[in-house]
Homo-oligomer: A and B are copies of this chain.
């Protein structure tokens, strides 16, 4: 397991307790024997709003970084996602949406896997870039709608 994964794991464990964790950047970096900015890297790559996290911080003496898991209602969240998709959707963003929804227990693993399969680049490989991303957006919206009706 690489450094980033280890740091992410530790943060995740801290979040288990009450969905929120407050940490000291320098201290954490020292624990892992890495440069402080590594912490920023991990946070910005794995604890984004897209993935269901909120990050706050303060500099200066007694500074901190606080990461919290955000909680929203199921129908609202689905609608929010649908409404924010737009006409076109790339695979990475789609995957992030799914991870987020799964993490928040809006959809179960099984559904997430299916939705991933249906919207992967692999599944849409015949299409040109532009058409693929437009079609992915439509398929994904249809899927979310199907979920919200279930």
Contacts and interface: CB of A to CB of B under 8 A. Distances in A.
Main secondary structure of the interface of A (DSSP, over half): helix
Contacts of A5: 62
A126 B143 CA distance: 16
A57 interface: no
Nearest to A130: B126
Interface in A13-47: none
Given A114-B118, A126-B134, 15 more contacts: A4-B62, A109-B150, A113-B146, A114-B146, A114-B147, A117-B139, A117-B142, A117-B143, A118-B139, A118-B142, A122-B138, A123-B139, A124-B138, A127-B127, A135-B135
Interface residues of A, number: 35
Contacts of A125: 138
Interface in A78-102: none
A61 interface: yes
